Amino acid sequence: MTPNQTTGIKLYNTKTRKKEVFTPFKADDVRMYVCGPTVYDRAHIGNARPVIVFDTLYRLLRHVYGQEQVTYVRNFTDVDDKINAKAAETGRTIGEITEETIAWYLEDMAAVGALEPDHMPRATGYIGEMIAMIETLIEKGHAYAAEGHALFRVRSYEAYGALSGRDVDDMIAGARVEVAPYKEDPMDFVLWKPSSADQPGWDSPWGRGRPGWHIECSAMAKALLGETFDIHGGGLDLQFPHHEDEIAQSCCANGTSEMARFWMHNEMLQVEGKKMSKSLGNFFTVRDLLAQGVPGEVIRFVFLSTHYRKPMDWTEKKREEAEKTLRKWTLALTSDGLINKRLGDGAADQGVIDAISDDLNTPLAIARLHELFKSAETDSDLANFKASLVLLGLGERVNLGASKTFSDIVVKAQFPELQTLSDNLAVARDEAMKTKDFSEVDRLKAAYIEAGLEVRMSKAGVDVLRGESFDAAKLEGLL
Ligand code: AMP
Ligand code: ZN
């Protein structure tokens, strides 16, 4: 199959510190691995950055090489001491916590327009593969067992430090490396560690224990993508030591000279110029934003307005501007039912494709979208504009049930009556809670539904939206 592209994709490769032309090992089998979350709590907005960045790349790769030709793997780390601590703190089981957190994560990432990867392996599903890989490392002299642990012998791998440009001796001189009695060398890192009776554990040649963090990605990437694949991604905080350790394990166990051809890292996210942290009180989750009524598409738009290799600042001002722009665009596309009816399938604009093909230059892609919007004159222009938005993961109605979508907010702006009707019903409901007489609530609800509206009532509040048979003329009779 001929890749669907006129210009090549160029990506900045952390490994070579250069922007390089991206050529996959096989054009009909493009493979990407991205390190996923440790699942013990809601994803904070920083966690959404790699998701949105690599989702944008995934969409581009699918566009260029074909949907079936790209395999994207993102793992869930479901064995970790932070999860154990959460279980001890809450009295809940580890399984309950990880299941709940994974469901939240998928819901929140869908809300920001992220497609689900083709595989989402959980570490606990690959313990056998991890043990096998550690055994191979020990056989080859790259690892050793000591006091219930298995450790990677860093000095046995000459290329250690190449990804992050560090020298092992400098690292020892400057770093706070843990000196444990069972380590031959302070730089050696844990592949396997013993578990006490109350910690999760699996039987292994080194006793009952659990894997270190790094080995899980090496084992899962190999199982699902093979010994060598095209792209490996994650946040910049993972470059060292996590990715350096993944490379050492995989290359030494598999006898290969590289694990992935391209290594990509997104810069970190800050809030109003400051590091996000619980103690500064500027820590918030994706769900917090969605619950405040910030549509997922607005969150995505704010992220895409900064290049992924630049530190990104989340500010209220950016959120407001993103909302204004998207409102303007969506209004034009929905004003007379255009988006679903008259607008056929457009073709994504080459300028937008070129911008994201140049190391994911999403700010340039957005600038191009502004130009396209300004110069659009016909339905066909608008259809192409819409297709370009969709390529960036915008302009689709995502996660309809779980949060207010952008379109719902736009409709509210177009028909302020809907807000008045919501408010009236909320007042009636508050009153009924006091008197226990719900007849007025039932009457209003029935009248709204009769008029083609959809009524959503939950603990969180009351919302009246346009239903399937919505007709603006019917609003008048209700006010
Ligand atoms: P964790 O669950 O902490 O392992 O993080 C999951 C993913 O989110 C990793 O790819 C991290 O690099 C990324 N990440 C964590 N915090 C931030 C942040 N503040 N900005 C951008 N990416 C982050
Ligand atoms: Zn990883």
Ligand 1, pocket residues at CB < 6 Å:
35, 37-38, 46-47, 49-50, 234-235, 237-238, 266, 268-269, 276
Residue 35 Cα: closest atom of ligand 1: 10
CATH number, residue 101? 3.40.50.620
Residue 281 in any domain: the answer is no
Proximal ligand: closest to the CA of 75: 2
Q: Looking at the structure, tell me whether residues 181 and 235 fall in a common domain.
A: yes
For residue range 379-388, list pLDDT tens digits in order: 788 889 989 9
Residue 182 in any domain: the answer is yes
Mean pLDDT calculated for residue range 408-436: 80
Between 362 and 176, residue with greater pLDDT: 362
CA of 377 to the centre of ligand 1 (A): 42
Residue located nearest, by CA, to atom 19 of ligand 1? 46
Residue 234 and residue 226: Cα distance in Å, rounded? 19
| Confidence check: pLDDT of 460 > 80 | no
For residue 142, the model assigns a pLDDT of: 98
Q: Looking at the structure, tell me whether residues 247 and 185 fall in a common domain.
A: yes
Mean pLDDT calculated for residue range 65-87: 96
For residue 58, the model assigns a pLDDT of: 98
Q: Looking at the structure, tell me whether residues 407 and 426 fall in a common domain.
A: no
| Confidence check: pLDDT of 439 > 60 | yes
Residue located nearest, by CA, to atom 14 of ligand 1? 47
Mean pLDDT calculated for residue range 338-350: 72
CA of 78 to the centre of ligand 2 (A): 12
Residue 246 in any domain: the answer is yes
DSSP code at position 236: G
Instruction: Work out the mean pLDDT of the chain and round it to a whole number.
Output: 89
Residue located nearest, by CA, to atom 17 of ligand 1? 46
Q: Looking at the structure, tell me whether residues 230 and 332 fall in a common domain.
A: no
For residue 293, the model assigns a pLDDT of: 82
For residue 419, the model assigns a pLDDT of: 80
The percentage of residues in the chain with a pLDDT greater than 90, rounded to a whole number, is 68
CA of 364 to the centre of ligand 2 (A): 30
Residue 283 in any domain: the answer is no
| Confidence check: pLDDT of 458 > 80 | no
CA of 395 to the centre of ligand 1 (A): 26
pLDDT-based confidence at residue 272 (cuts at 50, 70, 90):
confident
Q: Looking at the structure, tell me whether residues 164 and 311 fall in a common domain.
A: no
Q: Looking at the structure, tell me whether residues 119 and 149 fall in a common domain.
A: yes
Q: Looking at the structure, tell me whether residues 328 and 354 fall in a common domain.
A: yes
For residue 281, the model assigns a pLDDT of: 79
For residue range 22-47, list pLDDT tens digits in order: 999 999 999 999 999 999 999 999 99
Q: Looking at the structure, tell me whether residues 148 and 246 fall in a common domain.
A: yes
For residue range 184-231, list pLDDT tens digits in order: 999 999 999 999 999 999 999 999 999 999 999 999 999 999 999 999
Among 370, 392, 411, the domain boundary falls at 411
Among 411, 427, 461, the domain boundary falls at 411
Residue 65 and residue 30: Cα distance in Å, rounded? 8
For residue range 363-372, list pLDDT tens digits in order: 999 999 999 9
Residue 353 in any domain: the answer is yes
Proximal ligand: closest to the CA of 83: 1
Strand stretches in 176-285, DSSP E: 189-194, 209-211, 229-235, 260-266, 269-271, 274-275
**Among the listed ranges 183-187, 299-303, 332-336, which one has the minimum average pLDDT value?**
332-336
Between 71 and 471, residue with greater pLDDT: 71
Residue located nearest, by CA, to atom 16 of ligand 1? 46
Residue 54 in any domain: the answer is yes
For residue 402, the model assigns a pLDDT of: 29
Task: Report the DSSP beta bridge partners of residue 232.
Answer: 33, 263
**Among the listed ranges 6-10, 338-342, 390-394, which one has the minimum average pLDDT value?**
338-342
| Confidence check: pLDDT of 398 > 50 | no
Q: Looking at the structure, tell me whether residues 236 and 315 fall in a common domain.
A: no
Instruction: Determine which helix (DSSP H) or strand (DSSP E) holds 78, and give its type and residue range.
Output: none
Q: Looking at the structure, tell me whether residues 338 and 355 fall in a common domain.
A: yes
For residue 404, the model assigns a pLDDT of: 43
| Confidence check: pLDDT of 1 > 70 | no
For residue 18, the model assigns a pLDDT of: 97
pLDDT-based confidence at residue 342 (cuts at 50, 70, 90):
low
| Confidence check: pLDDT of 50 > 70 | yes
Mean pLDDT calculated for residue range 271-282: 81
Q: Looking at the structure, tell me whether residues 394 and 419 fall in a common domain.
A: no
* Furthest-apart CA atoms within the chain: distance in Å: 81
Would you call 90 helix, strand, or coil by DSSP? helix
pLDDT-based confidence at residue 267 (cuts at 50, 70, 90):
very high
What are the distances in angstroms from CA 38 to CA 9, 100, 218, 437? 31, 12, 16, 48
- The parent domain of residue 443 ranges over 415-475
For residue 328, the model assigns a pLDDT of: 81
**In 10 A of CB 173, how many CB atoms?**
8
User: How many domains does the structure of the chain reveal?
Assistant: 3
Mean pLDDT calculated for residue range 346-375: 96
Residue 276 in any domain: the answer is no
Residue 280 in any domain: the answer is no
Pairing status of strand 149-152 against strand 143-146: antiparallel
Residue located nearest, by CA, to atom 6 of ligand 1? 37
Q: Looking at the structure, tell me whether residues 222 and 76 fall in a common domain.
A: yes
For residue 2, the model assigns a pLDDT of: 52
For residue 276, the model assigns a pLDDT of: 82
Q: How many CA atoms lie within 13 A of 394 on its CB side?
A: 28
| Confidence check: pLDDT of 335 > 70 | no
Ion ligand 2 residues within 5 Å by Cβ: 35, 217
For residue 322, the model assigns a pLDDT of: 92
| Confidence check: pLDDT of 359 > 80 | yes
